[in-house]
Amino acid sequence: MANKLYHGAAYYPELWDEKVMEEDIKLMKEAGINVARMGEFAWHTMEPEEGKIDISFFVNVINKLYENGIETVMCTPTPTPPIWFTHNHPERMYVNHEGKVMGHGSRQHACTNNRYFRKKANEITEHMAKAVGSLPGVIGWQIDNEFKCHVSECMCETCLELWHQWLEERYETIEQLNEAWGTKIWSEYYHSFEQVPQPGPAPFLHNSSLSTMYRQFSMEKIAEFSDSQAEIIRQYSDAPITHNSNVPFSVDNERLFEKLDFASFDTYATQENKASYLMNCDLWRNFKKGRDFWIMETSTSNAASLESYASPHANGYLRAEAIVSYALGGEAFCYWLWRQQRAGCEQPHGSVISAWGKPTVGFQSVLDVEEMRKKVEPFMVETKPKKADIAITYSDQAKAFFQTEPHQQMDFRSLVTNFYNHFVSLGIHRDMIPEKGSLQDYKLLFTPFLPYISDEYRKQAVDFVNSGGTWIVGPLSGGRTKEHTVHTNAALGKLEEIAGIEALYTYPMDGTGSVGHAFGERAPLGLWSTVFEYDEKTVVGTIAGGNSDGKAFMTESKVGKGKIVHVGSLPVGEEGDSLIRKIIDHYATETEVSVRTDVTSGTIVAPRIDDDGKQSWVIVNMDGQGGSVTIPKDAMDVLTKEKVSAERLDIGPYEYRIISF
Ligand code: GAL
């Protein structure tokens, strides 16, 4: 549970003079900003010449903000090493998949594995931690900024060397690597680790194992970099440490947050794409269980850069976003950025204050958020998000598999977001959990789009089933091995034996005229699919038409006290969406999922609970159309203290209510 709710903004005092800072502080107080995040691009200000490090500018700003009731999250400035580091040093720079070496002038231009970079990054981190680590204004740390948001796997010489070491640790002998990757294909065969290339320029695609393992190598290295900064900071500061990440970046978020203290993310989802916003809240809450997450960056109105802009939020939406995030487990709601930039490549980006010091189009929304924050803070502090009955697995390892094998330009993020959104439409409260997340106390586990199901994951899921849980596997799950190859004992490896089913073959079902029938509904089937033998004992979904007429696309097997359900294919189109919801609803009803409401689409209910088990709902309209929900028993409005009777409750456009039972 949070002790307070933060309302913050990214602040760049190094870009302005003292007078502007005075004005900023005054305006921040008016807007209700109680935390500023600073420093992530300010390496030059801290170390203008190599070795001449002086953090006093920030010490000053932090103290001044603190005197005015504004706390600080301090960031390490490592996404932007200064010119003294980069000039005439191509060997220190990031190299992309085409072999192009990055130059100075943007961000993330250095290779984070370069040894000299690491040395310099550690030095600046240590100086900062020493200088500001014990200041009372510093309440948290952010490491770097959005790792791997613009870049992915680096192809420089240092990375090549580290890649070889990594492979040797993983495979021990080159023979084992050759065997695992099947390198006799296209005469790829290697005689030593030094011969294994990076997945750089090539006439056609690389071996899937090479590509996916390189992504894993890169994700591990960036997490190690984060770990090393955190370790240095901890020597000088007790303030908790985070990183501002997001789903599309080339990182393994579960691994990244392992050694950090709290989870945070940045989001610029548009209003139309609120599913993505909600999914992030439901996911980030679960990277650090029991610890509130932060929204470290979001726009007051519209995101933009020199090249493009998004549409501004409708008036009212920002407050809806803010209360939803607080209700779903957020401790902080912060903007990028405070004052519009007068230079650089992000001048058109939405902000709280314009470059000339006037309120922006989003300013009133910020005031509305602050008014709401003050009202709901006592309630949020007393309660926490209620655990869902349903868990959906989210995996950045799966994301990497999809990057290597996107089938038809598919990406894990959109597949999972669409799937997730069905739970929202059904009014079912849900937890998105990382692969290693505990399954304790859930009733239903969904594992969609996880090409490789690890032994560890399967073991946990089977234990869950044995003790009574229902595990729904697929679509597109289980068909690949750890090495990103195809199983040779059965299409789905060990899963088939455990579930007592037989997968016959796999192929793309799109456009084949195959229609899936299950639970009284029908819909076209699509995507790379697994077809099961028709077996009276296990069949729940059959295929009509196409290449596999009469076979099964869905099976159900009793295992221990629970069930394993395989969904081999994705129902598509509008009928498909309806069938997927039917499937979810069927198993939610069967397993007596109770954290669920009949709220209308576009409005959401976030259930919360206090220490005595007293339950509440935070109801928020997010589409500006208003909505309604049935209140199951007499309740009370937490904010007005008025009685709310057990009947249909209407919610106005962007309105929020807190009802307690
Ligand atoms: C984020 C980044 C910020 C800013 C923002 C603009 O990705 O961390 O520095 O660029 O996007 O939307």
pLDDT tens readout for residues 103-113? 999 999 999 99
* Any atom of ligand 1 within 6 Å of the Cβ of 107: no
Say if residue 2's pLDDT is above 80.
no
> Which residue puts its alpha carbon closest to atom 2 of ligand 1?
146
- Could you identify the atom of ligand 1 that is nearest to the CA of residue 145? 8
* Ramachandran assignment for 54, one of left (phi > 0), alpha (psi -120 to 50 degrees), beta (any other): beta
- Distance (angstroms) between ligand 1 centre and the Cα of 498 equals 46
Q: Single out the catalytic residue among 297, 331, 370, 483.
A: 297
Torsion angles phi and psi, residue 138, rounded to 5: -85, 110
Distance CA 398, CA 391 (A): 17
Q: What percent of the chain has pLDDT over 70?
A: 100
From the list 40, 146, 435, 556, the catalytic residue is 146
266 CA → ligand 1 middle, Å: 8
CA distances from residue 49 to 59, 123, 381, 475, 566 in whole angstroms, order as listed: 19, 14, 46, 55, 60
Stated as kind and residue range, the H or E segment containing 364 is: helix 363-382
Asked whether the predicted pLDDT for residue 1 surpasses 60, the reply is no
8 A C-beta contact, residue 31 and residue 357: no
Q: Look at the chain and count its residues.
A: 661
147 lines ligand 1 (CB under 6 A): no
**Is residue 26 packed enough to be buried (19+ CB in 10 Å), middle (13-18) or exposed (0-12)?**
exposed
φ, ψ for residue 498 (rounded to 5)? -60, -40
Residue 266 CB–ligand 1 contact under 6 Å: yes
Q: Whose CA is nearest to atom 4 of ligand 1?
A: 336
d(CA 158, CA 363): 47
Average pLDDT rounded to a whole number, residues 409-429: 97
Average pLDDT over every residue of 98-106? 97
Q: Is residue 269 within 6 Å of ligand 1 at its C-beta?
A: no
C-alpha 267 to ligand 1 mean position (Å): 9
Q: How far is the CA of 336 from the centre of ligand 1 (A)?
A: 7
DSSP letter for 342, please: S
DSSP string, 126-165: HHHHHHHTT-TTEEEEE-SSSTTSS-----SHHHHHHHHH
* Average pLDDT score over residue span 335-342: 98
- Domain residue ranges in the chain: 1-10+262-382, 34-246, 390-590, 603-660
Among 146, 302, 309, which is best to mutate for testing ligand 1, by the most ligand atoms less than 8 A from CB?
Answer: 146
Q: Is 303 in the pocket of ligand 1 (CB under 6 A)?
A: yes
State if residue 249 touches ligand 1 by the CB under 6 angstroms criterion. Answer: no
Whether 346 is in the pocket of ligand 1, judged by its Cβ within 6 Å, is: yes
Give me the mean pLDDT over the 37-42 stretch.
98
pLDDT for 245: 98
Taking only the tens place, the pLDDT of each residue in 481-538 is: 999 999 999 999 999 999 999 999 999 999 999 999 999 999 999 999 999 999 999 9
Q: Of 346, 347, 351, which is best to mutate to test ligand 1, by the most ligand atoms within 8 angstroms of its C-beta?
A: 346
pLDDT per residue as tens digits for the range 388-403: 999 999 999 999 999 9
Grouping H, G, I as helix, E, B as strand and the rest as coil, residue 299 is coil
Q: Which residue intervals of 388-432 are DSSP H helices?
A: 396-404, 412-425
Average pLDDT of span 137-146: 98
CA of 250 to the centre of ligand 1 (A): 16
Q: Which two tokens stand for residue 281?
A: 């809240």
pTM: 0.98
Percent of the chain predicted with pLDDT > 90? 99
Residue 157: active-site member: no
DSSP states along 538-582: TEEEEEESGGGTT-EEEEEEEETTEEEEEE-SEE-HHHHHHHHHH
Cβ of 297 closer than 6 Å to ligand 1, yes or no, is yes
CA of 299 from ligand 1 middle (Å) equals 9
Tokens of residue 511, six digits? 């456009």
Q: From ligand 1's centre to the CA of 75, what distance in Å?
A: 14
Q: What is the pLDDT of residues 212-246, one digit of tens each?
A: 999 999 999 999 999 999 999 999 999 999 999 99
**Domain 603-660, CATH homologous superfamily name and number:** Golgi alpha-mannosidase II (2.60.40.1180)
Per-residue 3-state assignment (H helix, E strand, C coil) for 589-625? HHCCCCCECCCCCCEEEEEEEECCCCEEEEEEECCCC
Residue 619 pLDDT exceeds 70 = yes
- In order of 32, 73, 277, the CA distances from 6 in angstroms are 10, 11, 18
pLDDT in tens, 547-572: 999 999 999 999 999 999 999 999 99
Q: Is the CB of 349 under 6 A from ligand 1?
A: yes
Which CATH fold topology does 34-246 show? Answer: TIM Barrel (3.20.20)
**The dihedral of CA 591, 596, 597, 599: what is its sign?**
negative
- Please give the pLDDT value at position 61: 98
Write phi, then psi, for 636 (nearest 5 degrees): -130, 145
From the options 3.40.640.10, 3.40.50.880, 3.10.50.40, 3.40.1180.10, give the CATH code of 390-590.
3.40.50.880
Measured distance CA(189)–CA(417) in Å, rounded: 39
Task: Look at residues 581, 513, 586 and name the one whose alpha carbon lies nearest to residue 543.
Answer: 513
Q: Among this protein's residues, is 224 annotated catalytic?
A: no
Task: Work out the end-to-end distance of the chain between its first and last CA atoms, rounded to an integer number of angstroms.
Answer: 20
403 phi and psi angles, rounded to 5 deg:
-65, -40
Relative to the CA of 244, which ligand 1 atom is closest?
Answer: 8
List C-alpha distances in Å: 329 to 274, 289, 295, 384.
Answer: 17, 10, 10, 7
335 CB within 6 A, ligand 1: no
Residue 371 half-sphere exposure toward CB, CA atoms < 13 A: 11
Map tokens 């220190």 to a residue. 92
Q: Give the per-residue pLDDT at 193.
A: 98
268 lines ligand 1 (CB under 6 A): yes
Distances (CA, A) of 3 to 135, 144, 237, 291, 382: 20, 26, 20, 11, 9
Q: Which of 124, 86, 102 is closest to 228 using CA atoms? A: 124
Q: What is the mean pLDDT of the chain?
A: 98
pLDDT at position 52: 98
Does the pLDDT at position 445 exceed 70? Answer: yes
- With beta carbons less than 8 A apart as the criterion, state whether 555 and 350 touch: no
Is residue 27 pLDDT above 80, yes or no? yes
Q: Does the pLDDT value for residue 31 go beyond 60?
A: yes
Distance between CA atoms of residues 412 and 539, nearest Å: 28
Tell me the β-bridge partners of 605: 619
By C-alpha distance, which of 142, 487, 190, 176 is closest to 297? 142
Q: Answer yes or no: are the C-beta atoms of 141 and 240 closer than 8 Å.
A: yes
**Closest C-alpha residue for ligand 1 atom 5:** 336
Residue 328 has pLDDT above 70, yes or no: yes
Yes or no: say if 362 and 312 are a contact pair by the CB < 8 Å rule.
yes
pLDDT of residue 379: 98
Q: Tell me which DSSP letter residue 304 carries.
A: B
